[in-house]
Amino acid sequence: MEGARMAGASRIIGVDLNPAKYEQAKKFGCTDFVNPKDHSKPVQEVLVEMTNGGVDRAVECTGHIDAMIAAFECVHDGWGVAVLVGVPHKEAVFKTYPMNFLNERTLKGTFFGNYKPRTDLPEVVEMYMRKELELEKFITHSVPFSQINTAFDLMLKGEGLRCIMRMDQ
């Protein structure tokens, strides 16, 4: 969402099973929120209807295979691009209708946003220094290293974005 906001997206739709995440998502530019549990049809159909044909870009970060398929199936025919960031189970199978590809939708995958640390990281640092990239809003918790299990519990429950591990205690 932060990348879409920085790129100037006028509408950013968040999709999550946890409705409490909408308030947090607004900090990152989320303008609309869809909880798949609130609908009787597949979320990709809801998104296609909401956007009169599909979204321009979809980014899937959970690694859940059904969410990956939904991300691809909700992009607009002709120019929509779905980017898969989440890592699925090694035996997961991606199934979709061949017409989704023939209708010129694009499916991409990436590890670490295709960043090249040597050349791209200095620009990220500069964006942060110019206050264009707000990293502080990603940090939701800070715990001493002795409470590392608490940090993992927060992550697994979906209650935190990034947790700082302090080595001072």
Q: What domains, with CATH codes, occur in the chain?
A: 1-114 (3.40.50.720), 117-166 (no CATH)
| Mean pLDDT, residues 54-82 taken together | 96
Cα separation, 102 vs 127, in Å, equals 38
Give residue 104's pLDDT. Answer: 95
- pLDDT interval class at 82 (50, 70, 90): very high
Q: How many other C-beta atoms can be found within 10 angstroms of the C-beta atom of residue 73?
A: 21
**Region 16-41: what's the mean pLDDT?**
92
Q: Are 46 and 55 in contact (CB under 8 A)?
A: no
pLDDT at 91 > cutoff 90 = yes
DSSP string, 41-96: S-HHHHHHHHTTS-BSEEEE-S--HHHHHHHHHTBPTTT-EEEE-SPPPTT-----
Average pLDDT over residues 55-67: 95
pLDDT higher than threshold 80 for residue 11: yes
Stretch 99-120: mean pLDDT, rounded?
89
pLDDT (mean) for 47-65: 96
| Nearest alpha-carbon partner for 17 in 51, 58, 87, 64 | 64
| pLDDT for the residue 169 | 58
The answer on pLDDT for 80 being more than 90 is yes
Predicted confidence at residue 103, as pLDDT, reads 95
For the cut 90, the answer to whether the pLDDT of residue 106 exceeds it is yes
pLDDT tens digit sequence for 125-165: 999 999 998 888 889 899 999 999 999 998 888 788 889 99
Stretch 56-66: mean pLDDT:
94
What is the pLDDT, as a whole number, of residue 108?
95
